[in-house]
């Protein structure tokens, strides 16, 4: 089905082609989705969702129902095309689904955990699609010397461009509000832990000496803290050169 294959490729390229740069402000990237989930206290569930999405992507594409569900929110016609393809041309559908990959999983995470932000992102995509449709119309009017029609289309473009910018600003403000809230909580926790520093030291001494339980630092066990440090560590190119010093060997008896 060449026509269906072409439609699917175009659908996938809507998110995944080099032309994706036009849409990157309207789509949440992986870090954005993970960050929003983390500040909402749902990072564990989101991590599991992302792991499932990555596994599905490696297996040949993200979950078909999730893909179509997100597509339906953006465009019912697009969702209908994908549903038809899944039934009639599953191989091409899987290829298109794989191309949607991480962008789809990012939207799916927002859809589940932050519906208000997800709604803004979807609206951005809808407006972007309208803008892309008006571009060729304006060129056609100009080439055909239909000045009045071109002026009307340009007015539409200007209005939609303003709407798109406003939606983008609103979604970014929402993200920052989430991050700001969790940062305030973390700062208060840090101040509390700093004021109770001596008591924490004493509890740690007792725990090590008596083997009474895990050592807790800042709400994390040392294992968790170590893993977090590795995750947050700078890349080799950014990290300063620090010599690795091994602890001295114990003296022979």
pLDDT tens per residue across all 253 residues of the chain: 445 554 444 444 454 433 333 333 334 444 444 444 444 444 444 444 444 444 444 433 457 787 788 888 888 888 888 888 888 888 877 777 777 666 667 788 888 889 999 999 999 989 998 999 999 999 999 999 999 999 999 999 999 999 999 999 999 999 999 899 999 999 999 999 999 999 989 888 888 888 877 776 775 544 444 454 454 444 444 444 333 333 444 444 4
Residue 172 resides in a domain:
yes
* Residue 89: predicted pLDDT: 83
Residue 136 resides in a domain:
yes
* Residue 20: predicted pLDDT: 39
Residue 21 resides in a domain:
yes
Host domain of residue 23: 2-184
Residue 46 resides in a domain:
yes
Residue at token pair 């004021």:
195
* Residue 139: predicted pLDDT: 96
Copy the structure tokens of residue 180: 């700001």
Residue 231 resides in a domain:
no
* Residue 210: predicted pLDDT: 86
Q: Please report the sign of the dihedral spanned by the C-alpha atoms of residue 229, residue 230, residue 231, residue 232.
A: positive
Residue 175 resides in a domain:
yes
Residue 122 resides in a domain:
yes
* Residue 102: predicted pLDDT: 65
Q: Which residues contact 108 (CB under 8 A, 6 or more apart)?
A: 49, 53, 62, 66, 70
Cα–Cα distance, 241 to 243 (Å, whole number): 7
* Residue 220: predicted pLDDT: 58
Residues 43/37, Cβ–Cβ less than 8 Å: yes
Cα–Cα distance, 109 to 39 (Å, whole number): 13
Residues 108/66, Cβ–Cβ less than 8 Å: yes
Residue 49 resides in a domain:
yes
* Residue 191: predicted pLDDT: 92
Cα–Cα distance, 102 to 78 (Å, whole number): 19
SS3 label, residue 133: helix
Q: Which residue, 97, 131, 172, is CA-closest to 23?
A: 131
* Residue 175: predicted pLDDT: 92
Cα–Cα distance, 223 to 200 (Å, whole number): 17
Per the structure, the count of domains in the chain is 1
Q: Could you tell me where the DSSP H helices lie in 59-146? A: 64-74, 76-88, 90-113, 115-143
Rg for the chain (alpha carbons), in Å? Answer: 26
> What Å distances lie between residue 26 and 40, 74, 114, CA to CA?
21, 12, 16
């Amino acid at each position: 089905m060449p026509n269906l294959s072409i439609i699917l490729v175009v659908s996938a390229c809507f998110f995944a082609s080099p032309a994706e740069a036009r849409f990157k402000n309207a789509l949440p990237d992986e870090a954005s989705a993970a960050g929003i989930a983390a500040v909402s206290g749902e990072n564990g569930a989101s991590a599991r969702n992302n792991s499932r999405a990555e596994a599905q992507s490696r297996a040949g594409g993200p979950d078909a129902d999730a893909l179509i569900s997100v597509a339906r929110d953006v465009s019912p016609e697009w969702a209908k095309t994908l549903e038809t393809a899944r039934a009639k041309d599953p191989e091409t559908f899987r290829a298109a689904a794989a191309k949607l990959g991480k962008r789809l999983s990012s939207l799916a995470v927002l859809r589940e955990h932050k519906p208000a932000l997800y709604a803004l992102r979807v609206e951005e995509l809808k407006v972007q699609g309208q803008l892309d449709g008006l571009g060729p119309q304006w060129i056609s009017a100009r080439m055909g010397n239909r000045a009045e029609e071109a002026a009307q289309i340009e007015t539409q473009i200007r209005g939609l461009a303003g709407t798109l910018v406003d939606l983008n600003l609103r979604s970014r403000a929402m993200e920052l509000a989430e991050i700001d809230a969790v940062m305030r909580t973390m700062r208060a926790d840090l101040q509390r832990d700093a004021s109770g520093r001596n008591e924490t030291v004493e509890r740690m001494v007792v725990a090590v000496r008596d083997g009474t339980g895990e050592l807790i630092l800042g709400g994390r066990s040392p294992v968790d803290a170590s893993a977090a440090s590795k995750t947050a560590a700078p890349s080799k190119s950014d990290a300063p050169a620090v010599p690795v010093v091994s602890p001295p060997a114990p003296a022979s008896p």
